[in-house]
């Protein structure tokens, strides 16, 4: 940063941090910032009612670790068992410590920008590449189409910009066109995402008011679409990852969650009459997305 600042021309700097990620190693002082006795485990430790069983997983990476007493936890997770409360608290404690440790590293970067007098002329974007299950649904890590794995922080810091917060669903593919517009660069025509500049300016008018994610299970591919309140998931019988000519109309299972009524995803409301209209609306939008895959 010091070298780039001295060259007196625009620069782009991408900085990636491995934490928070297994193993949750961080200096002791960051663990000490949290009282273990005040850490609560997830309220929901089971699958949702009316589950699509294969939509869940058995925490593949975590299975290679042992607990504080050296007990290997592979068998517990593979057999569908639940970690003890002590094990869960330790993991959540470690996750919190790792997050705070990275917050400090980000702070060092921002402090350097200030010291170099670049803060008033630099756009900063902070985001996580995925969410993280912390025992909810008896799952740990990522690798799912549930809210905990797909909902992430996304923060834009723009000089002289008024602070604004929104719950409008957006996607990572929107970051590049947003930075192009903010930096005064011409937008390529082939981009999948949309600029978020209007949204950042407080105008909540976008063509797509939803976000799409996907994750596979075996030969099935799960496509999830999320608007402000609902998530709809279609599991395709034979996904494009195993068959490039997959028939996306062959849906093996569906999931539908209402985050206003059921924020912890305790019930799969798919195909219930009371949600027929909302489900069909999201299904139409998801099927429009399928057309873009061809």
Q: What is the mean pLDDT of the chain?
A: 92
CATH of domain 211-293: 3.30.1120.10
Q: In the chain, which ranges are continuous DSSP H helix?
A: 2-6, 28-31, 74-78, 85-115, 147-150, 175-183, 197-200, 276-293
pLDDT confidence of residue 117: 94
pLDDT confidence of residue 61: 86
Pairing mode of beta strands 211-217, 220-226: antiparallel
Residue 151: which of 171, 137, 134 has the closest Cα? Answer: 171
Question: Are 163 and 107 in contact, with CB atoms under 8 Å apart?
Answer: no
pLDDT confidence of residue 63: 84
Give the whole-angstrom CA distance, residue 204 versus residue 142.
Answer: 29
Pairing mode of beta strands 251-258, 140-141: unpaired
Question: Are 50 and 268 in contact, with CB atoms under 8 Å apart?
Answer: yes
For 65-95, what is the HEC assignment?
A: CECCCCCECHHHHHCCCCCCHHHHHHHHHHH
- Indicate the burial class of 68 (C-beta count within 10 angstroms; 0-12, 13-18, 19 or more): exposed
pLDDT confidence of residue 229: 95
Q: Which phi and psi angles does 216 have, rounded to 5°?
A: -100, 160
What is the domain partition of the chain in residue ranges?
13-165, 211-293
pLDDT confidence of residue 207: 64
Question: Are 112 and 181 in contact, with CB atoms under 8 Å apart?
Answer: no
Give the whole-angstrom CA distance, residue 83 versus residue 137.
Answer: 12
**DSSP code of 49?**
B
Rg (CA), the chain: 21
CATH T-level topology, domain 13-165: Alkaline Phosphatase, subunit A (3.40.720)
DSSP sequence for 105-117: HHHHHHHHHHHTT
Give the whole-angstrom CA distance, residue 103 versus residue 99.
Answer: 6
pLDDT confidence of residue 197: 92
Please enumerate in sequence order all residues whose Cβ is within 8 A of that of 151, keeping only pairs 6 or more positions apart, or say none: 131
pLDDT confidence of residue 89: 95
pLDDT confidence of residue 74: 67
CA dihedral 40, 130, 21, 109 (to 10 degrees): -110
Pairing mode of beta strands 124-127, 154-157: antiparallel
pLDDT confidence of residue 192: 86
Q: In angstroms, how far is CA 65 from the centroid of its own chain?
A: 23
Query: Does residue 6 have a cis peptide bond before it, meaning omega lies within 30 degrees of 0?
Result: no
> Which residues of the chain are modeled with pLDDT < 50?
none
């Amino acid at each position: 940063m010091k070298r780039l600042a001295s060259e007196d021309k625009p620069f782009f700097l991408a900085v990636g941090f491995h934490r928070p990620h297994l193993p949750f190693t961080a200096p002791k002082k960051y663990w000490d910032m949290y009282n273990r006795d005040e850490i609560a485990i997830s309220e929901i430790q089971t699958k949702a009612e009316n589950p699509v069983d294969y939509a869940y997983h058995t925490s593949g990476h975590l299975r290679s670790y042992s607990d504080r007493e050296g007990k290997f936890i592979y068998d517990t997770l593979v057999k569908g068992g639940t970690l003890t409360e002590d094990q869960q608290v330790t993991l959540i404690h470690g996750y919190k410590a790792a997050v705070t440790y990275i917050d400090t590293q980000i702070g060092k970067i921002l402090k350097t920008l200030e010291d170099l007098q670049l803060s008033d002329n630099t756009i900063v974007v902070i985001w996580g590449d995925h969410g993280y299950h912390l025992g909810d649904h008896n799952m740990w890590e990522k690798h799912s189409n549930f809210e905990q794995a797909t909902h992430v922080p996304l923060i834009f810091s723009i000089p002289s910009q008024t602070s604004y917060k929104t719950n409008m669903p957006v996607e990572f593919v929107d970051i590049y066109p947003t930075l192009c517009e903010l930096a005064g660069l011409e937008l390529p025509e082939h981009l999948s995402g949309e600029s978020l500049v209007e949204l950042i300016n407080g105008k909540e008018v976008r063509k797509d008011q939803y976000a799409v994610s996907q994750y596979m299970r075996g030969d099935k591919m799960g496509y999830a679409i999320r608007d402000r309140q609902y998530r709809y998931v279609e599991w395709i019988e034979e996904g494009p990852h195993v068959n490039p000519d997959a028939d996306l109309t062959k849906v093996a299972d569906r999931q539908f969650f209402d985050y206003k009524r059921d924020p912890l995803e305790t019930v799969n409301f798919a195909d219930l009459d009371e949600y027929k209209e909302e489900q069909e609306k999201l299904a139409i939008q998801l099927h429009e997305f399928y057309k873009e895959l061809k």
